Amino acid sequence: MKNSFVVRSSKLSVSETAAKLKSILETKSIKLFAHIDHSAAAKENGMELSDEQVLIFGDPKVGTHLMQEEPAIGFELPLRMLIWSEHGTKVAYREPLSYLEEFNIIRNREIIEKMSILMDTLSKAIAEVD
């Protein structure tokens, strides 16, 4: 898989898009591990950065199976989605299918495939794409 970085445009602001993702995660009972506001951190340190946030989320019951097969995949888990402002609002994530080859996932291929569907569904929902 050549380009594993998926980017979509959102009609909402960065904050609205992040809030929408948080709401969907809550509805689906997916744990939000962290919400990092890069622009707020930059401002706290006297620097400027366009609005940029990362949400880190997942289900330990799912990710643990992958890490039992290949501990190095823990570098990519939990899943994350980047939302930033650049000529409008952008939403991006790393395509989980790229993990199959990169981490030689064989036994838990179905989990990776479900993660891919989840990330596609979430990104389309928050970007308001049909």
Read off the tokens for 93: 């994530």
Pairing of strands 79-85, 89-94: antiparallel
pLDDT at 128: 76
Nearest Cα neighbor of 15 from 56, 50, 65, 63 is: 50
Read off the tokens for 56: 């880190």
pLDDT at 112: 98
Nearest Cα neighbor of 15 from 91, 101, 73 is: 91
The pTM for the full model equals: 0.92
Using 50 as the pLDDT threshold, list the residues of the chain that sit under it: 1
pLDDT at 129: 67
pLDDT at 1: 47
The H or E element spanning position 55 is: strand 52-58
Going along the chain from its start, the domains and CATH numbers come out as 5-124 (3.30.310.70)
Q: Are 16 and 23 in contact (CB under 8 A)?
A: no
pLDDT at 130: 55
Distance CA 17, CA 51 (A): 12
Which residue type occupies 34? A
Distance CA 130, CA 124 (A): 7
